[in-house]
Structure 1
Amino acid sequence: MDATAAAGKVTREHLQRDAYLYIRQSTLKQVINNTESTQRQYALRSRAIALGWDHSQIIVIDTDQGQSGASTEGRDGFQRLVAEVGMGHAGIVLGLEVSRLARNNTDWHRLLEICALTGTLILDEDGLYDPGNFNDRLLLGLKGTMSEAELHLLKARLRGGVLSKARRGELVQPLPVGLVYDHAERVVLDPDTSVQQAIRHLLVTFAATGSAYADSGAQFRVGGQAVSR
């Protein structure tokens, strides 16, 4: 977006309120390994400063790291953001892209509606938008729809890969306690003899009494130490 056109959307009233930068990664693995995305999200602070906000006015909300954007459940940061916008504290909301803010159309359109009612701007990596403007809101709505569809496609792709491995007999699933995979990916007993002893005792007790908890005085050894139930 042209810098002059973007600056024209920012009014004195917007600048009197704070700028809220929302940062999110979907999984803890992404937080640890995909650090470039996180850095790009934090870098949006410079965009707010360029538009006229003071550094002290930029409030970073990054408590939703490792949380999926599929819903608001567990996303205290997003709920705080919506509340701050609703109370008229935000002049602008910044997010790297729509999917960082929400991948659910209901949540996304609720935020758009509140931003339109309170005169709050939205900025992403592509440009600056006024949700109160029909054309801007239409574009933001389309972005939200595409983000939600992308989540569906990602899930379908992952599930397809799992089913394909399962059909070939190559799908590796977590095993119950007492079983492990060997180097040939075969299921074998845990080589730890104390684990084997504990599992055998459990099975013998259940076979004899019909309950794993019936023999309250039983002892077995785990890690070289006697353990009583």
Structure 2
Amino acid sequence: MKREVIELPAKDPAEIPPQRRQLRVAAYCRVSTSLEAQQNSYEAQKEYYTDKILSNPDWTLAGIFSDKGISGTSVEKRDGFQRMIRWCQQGKIDLILTKSISRFARNTLDCLHYVRLLQQLNIPIIFESEGIDSSRMSNELILTLMGATSQAESEAISSRVKWGVRASFKEGNVRYCYKSWLGYRKGENGEPEIIPEEAAIVQQIFTAYLDGQSLRDIKALLESQKRLTKSGHEKWSISSINSILRNEKYTGDAKDVTDKGQD
């Protein structure tokens, strides 16, 4: 049989409808304290952005990046933020959503630095509260002013908190951070309670220092004896040993208001 070959003409590329790729959208949310009310806000932000992105047919969820209980003054301490930036540099994100400039960064220089970096990567940021889309900015004046305002707000809050702490100290009140305070825990009556095994480590540090040993020597001694830090690690840092030696609670310079007049 004679085979018949049918030649199909190639389609004109102009006639082929373009395939529209979904934008890979990420969101960044943050709360600055670990208080319960803030935690609720934190979870609400994550839920809001997850629903917002998934409900848009032109978007696909690239990730919800978040930090909680972390100061907003600098981005260096925010692991979630830094991971989001790395993903952007790796080409995994096309668009970023965030609640406001103050959530993104409260330091003006940091804010401008990362906005410029993301613009170079062609990744817009939408600041919802301010109604700003960084891809439509002809200049950075508005962002600079708003960033400066956010930074001033952060510094004002910090100043008020510090003032409150100082005022509390003047009244003789002492705040105890048991999470990082080696040798003590909060007792049933709300007062500090000694943890004998941890207290022995503190006494050893002070004794070694008074015997003339350097901080490096004390570090080596503690690690050779497998003494544990407050967080349960066998590795000690010189700075943590120095902090213990300088801690006003160990040296007796901090007393609760209830101790007044008893010395």
TM-score interval, normalised by the smaller of the two chains: 0.5 to 0.7
For 1:179 and 1:51, the matched residues in 2 are separated by 50
The answer to whether the 8 Å contact 1:20/1:94 transfers is yes
For 1:180 and 1:20, the matched residues in 2 are separated by 41
- 1:144 equivalent to 2:147? Answer yes
Per-residue Cα deviation, 1:29-61 (whole angstroms, up to 9, x for no partner): 24775313431343134444566533xx21223
Secondary structure at the aligned position of 1:103 is classed as: coil
Distance 1:106 1:33, change over 3 A: closer
Q: Please say which structure displays the higher CA radius of gyration.
A: 2
Secondary structure at the aligned position of 2:86 is classed as: helix
Q: Which residue of 2 aligns with 1:21?
A: 27
For 1:80 and 1:150, the matched residues in 2 are separated by 26
CA apart distance, 1:176 = 7.6
Q: Which residue of 2 aligns with 1:66?
A: 69
Secondary structure at the aligned position of 1:64 is classed as: strand
Secondary structure at the aligned position of 1:120 is classed as: coil
For 1:63 and 1:180, the matched residues in 2 are separated by 31
Secondary structure at the aligned position of 2:27 is classed as: strand
Poorly superposed stretches of 4+, deviation over 6 Å: 178-183
Q: Give TM-score, length-normalised by structure 1.
A: 0.60
The answer to whether the 8 Å contact 2:29/2:45 transfers is no
- 1:123 equivalent to 2:126? Answer yes
RMSD after superposition: 4.2
For 1:103 and 1:164, the matched residues in 2 are separated by 26
- 1:97 equivalent to 2:103? Answer no
User: 5+ residue gaps in structure 1?
Assistant: 1-11, 214-229
User: 5+ residue gaps in structure 2?
Assistant: 1-17, 213-217, 219-263
Q: Which residue of 2 aligns with 1:6?
A: none
Q: Which residue of 2 aligns with 1:106?
A: 109
Secondary structure at the aligned position of 2:112 is classed as: helix
The answer to whether the 8 Å contact 2:29/2:65 transfers is yes
For 2:133 and 2:21, the matched residues in 1 are separated by 15
For 1:31 and 1:138, the matched residues in 2 are separated by 36
CA apart distance, 1:158 = 0.6
* Aligned residues between the structures: 186
The one-letter amino acid of 1:154's match is I
For 1:35 and 1:130, the matched residues in 2 are separated by 29
CA apart distance, 1:168 = 2.5
Q: Which residue of 2 aligns with 1:80?
A: 83
Query: Bigger CA drift: 57-66 or 90-99?
Result: 57-66
Distance 1:210 1:118, change over 3 A: closer
Q: Which of residues 30, 35, 44 is equivalent to 1:39?
A: 44
Secondary structure at the aligned position of 1:24 is classed as: strand
Q: Which residue of 2 aligns with 1:226?
A: none
The answer to whether the 8 Å contact 2:49/2:64 transfers is no
For 2:147 and 2:74, the matched residues in 1 are separated by 13
Distance 1:108 1:46, change over 3 A: same
The one-letter amino acid of 2:172's match is G
Q: Which residue of 2 aligns with 1:162?
A: 165
Identity between Structure 1 and Structure 2 (%)? 23
Per-residue Cα deviation, 1:103-133 (whole angstroms, up to 9, x for no partner): 2222211121023223322223323513452
Q: Which residue of 1 aligns with 2:138?
A: 134
The answer to whether the 8 Å contact 2:95/2:125 transfers is yes
Q: Which residue of 1 aligns with 2:246?
A: none
